[in-house]
């Protein structure tokens, strides 16, 4: 029986890795870490930590990744592919119609504050939120969107939000999704050493803490450009208090 692919389309510096670890606890799920990363680096020629390692670790051709990774038949009924929305460059989006798709959103001010600690002076294309709005419109058009999860809503009540998400995905909720072992996981991409130090110290979703990051004038300007996209998507996300 073919594996049903689920894509989680996340902005960067979100809790997407914790989200991947959550789904990796399920016996019916194979998880894959950012299969389009090498394609993105090749297509844009941007500089990221560990770039040469990443390019050597994956196919750099989006069509090959779609056919041989995302739509692959795995030993499990479902596969979850942790994806970065800004990786969607110079490629056909039609494969998403054969998948279930989730958007993972976060307040842009929090994304930008975190991202700038690793890569200074991020731009709109780096943050991914405008691309998430484009993706939202595309997925809605083809009835391929199965949920929007906001990071802070998830952290406020992980079990409630994940139960609702599983319902929308038409898969059973499993309590095992709420915790995992500390440390690196075999699913991690080769880039984990640059980005995953915090999540490797976790054993579950961290309790919600309100954040009020202070941004430079330039980064504040970027955040203001991003907020309308985020505000629109947030209206449609799963709420922890419902």
Tally Cβ neighbours within 10 Å of residue 223. 21
The string of pLDDT tens digits covering residues 147-198 is 999 999 999 999 999 999 999 999 999 999 999 999 999 999 999 998 898 8
Beta strands 4-10 and 29-33, pairing class: unpaired
User: Any alpha helices (H) in 25-98, and if so which ranges?
Assistant: 37-44, 51-57, 62-65
Residue 172's CATH number: 3.40.50.300
**240 assigned to some structural domain:** no
Domain count, the chain: 1
Spell out the residues 6+ positions from residue 201 whose beta carbon is closer than 8 angstroms to its own.
182
Residue range of the domain that includes 59:
4-234
Structure tokens at 228: 């309308």
Confidence of residue 242 (pLDDT cuts 50, 70, 90): low
The string of pLDDT tens digits covering residues 102-144 is 999 999 999 998 888 877 888 888 888 999 999 999 999 999 9
| Mean pLDDT for all residues in the chain | 94
High-pLDDT (> 70) share of the chain, %: 100
Residue 205: the pLDDT is 94
**116 assigned to some structural domain:** yes
**65 assigned to some structural domain:** yes
């Amino acid at each position: 029986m073919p594996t049903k692919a689920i894509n989680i389309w996340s902005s960067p510096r979100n809790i997407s890795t914790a989200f991947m670890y959550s789904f990796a606890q399920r016996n019916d799920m194979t998880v894959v870490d950012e299969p389009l990363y090498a394609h993105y680096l090749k297509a844009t020629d941007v500089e990221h930590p560990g770039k040469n390692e990443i390019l050597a670790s994956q196919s750099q051709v989006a069509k090959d990744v779609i056919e041989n990774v995302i739509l692959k038949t795995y030993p499990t009924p479902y596969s979850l592919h942790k994806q970065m929305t800004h990786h969607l460059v110079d490629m056909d989006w039609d494969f998403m119609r054969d998948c279930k798709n989730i958007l993972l959103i976060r307040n842009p001010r929090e994304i930008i504050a975190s991202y700038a600690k690793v890569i200074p002076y991020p731009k709109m294309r780096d943050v991914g939120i405008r691309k998430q709005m484009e993706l939202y419109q595309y997925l809605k058009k083809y009835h391929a969107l199965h949920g929007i999860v906001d990071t802070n809503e998830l952290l406020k009540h992980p079990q409630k939000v994940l139960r609702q998400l599983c319902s929308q995905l038409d898969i059973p909720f499993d309590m095992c999704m709420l915790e995992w072992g500390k440390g690196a996981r075999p699913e991690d991409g080769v880039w984990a050493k640059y980005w995953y130090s915090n999540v490797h110290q976790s054993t579950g979703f961290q309790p919600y803490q309100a954040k009020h990051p202070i941004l430079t004038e330039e980064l504040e300007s970027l955040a203001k450009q991003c907020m309308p996209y985020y505000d629109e998507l947030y209206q449609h996300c799963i709420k922890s208090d419902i």
